[in-house]
Structure 1
Amino acid sequence: MPSIFNEEELKFKFSQSPIDEFSWHKSEKLSHLAKSNDLVFDVKLLDSGKYSYPYHFHRNAEELFLILSGRVMLRIPKGFKELRSGDIVFFEKGPTGAHQLYNHTDNICTYLDIRTKKDIDICEYPDSGKVNILPFSEIFLKQNQVDYFEGEEDIKKRWSDYKDNILDEI
């Protein structure tokens, strides 16, 4: 059964970050209402002088914006591009798909945000060096990246008492 949504009937929630420049209005997750299995989508309003989420890219999700009304400046790895009503922009996985919006106009920009839905996604933030494990929102600094075998050097010690702790049942 198709799900039909009309922009005039949507309810928006204001989201304000601790940093004033990052704020937006987000519709309820339309993908939940539509019972979508593979996509996450909602409509967002970006006020004048505000930025969307911090500059980021996804390692395990693709994203697409459809500008419904207004104009907005898009930041991508190659530079900046003004988007206007009717523009569709696709962001591939990985660093080449990095993006951020800034409303450089006096009017609200309205856009549809569509993302592929994965069990786990890794979102990286090049400006701040953070890594976010989604959907858990566990955020780490990438500079703390370590070798796969870091902290595993004393494996024999950890197994030294296995002969005394063999279980008959689990």
Structure 2
Amino acid sequence: MTDRDRVVVSLDALQRDDWQQGEFFGGSDVSFGAMIGLSQLGLSYNIVQPGKSGCPFHNHHVEDEAFIILSGSGDYRFGDRRMKVKAGDVLGAPAGGPETAHQLINTGDAPLVYVALSTMAKTEICEYPDSGKFMAKTRVGAEMVKRFSFVGREDSAVDYWSGEPGA
């Protein structure tokens, strides 16, 4: 392996995963930050077909995200706003509450292609305002391997002492 192989990738050469979830969600994407030696900055290459979104409307409590639109066009839901975006636009999604919730939707007639960047927090809480869910997750080690992940709703909460021996 050469030094170049450790710090340079070609987006066109990356092996993307194709996926579909229901009628509205789907894409072709790959995470590649670790491939170029990054442990605290996440990078992914994403292609979303017309009429689809690559993720639910969500906000991060800890991580910041940004999106660089390489080609195509769509709508960027951000908080209570909806904005048209196109190739050359750079979108911010800072950490916060539902006011920073975000989602890219391909409303164009060609694939929406973008690079997503994110800080890589060891612990993160995400909220999903459309569905009332939340996600708690942790990562460990230099490779930021997922250690714990839970998706639920507040109404499924249990008492702090529930199930504890002798409680």
Aligned with 2:63 (options 50, 61, 64):
61
The answer to whether the Cα contact below 8 Å between 2:9 and 2:36 also exists between their aligned partners in 1 is: no
- Provide closer, same or farther for how the CA distance between residues 141 and 23 of structure 1 changes in structure 2, counting only shifts above 3 A: same
- Provide closer, same or farther for how the CA distance between residues 32 and 112 of structure 1 changes in structure 2, counting only shifts above 3 A: same
Note if 1:86 corresponds to 2:88. Answer: yes
State the partner residue of 2:54.
Answer: 52
Aligned with 1:138 (options 133, 139, 150):
150
Aligned length: 152
TM-score with structure 2 length normalisation?
0.82
Structure 2, unaligned runs of 5 or more:
138-145
State the partner residue of 1:158.
Answer: 166
- Whole-angstrom CA distance in 2 between matches of 1:140 and 1:78: 23
Instruction: Tell which structure's C-alpha radius of gyration is larger.
Output: 1
The answer to whether the Cα contact below 8 Å between 1:129 and 1:143 also exists between their aligned partners in 2 is: no
The answer to whether the Cα contact below 8 Å between 1:31 and 1:41 also exists between their aligned partners in 2 is: yes
Note if 1:112 corresponds to 2:124. Answer: no
Structure 1, unaligned runs of 5 or more:
160-170
Aligned with 1:35 (options 10, 34, 37):
37
TM-score with structure 1 length normalisation?
0.80
- Provide closer, same or farther for how the CA distance between residues 144 and 59 of structure 1 changes in structure 2, counting only shifts above 3 A: same
Q: Which runs of 4+ in 1 moved over 6 A?
A: none
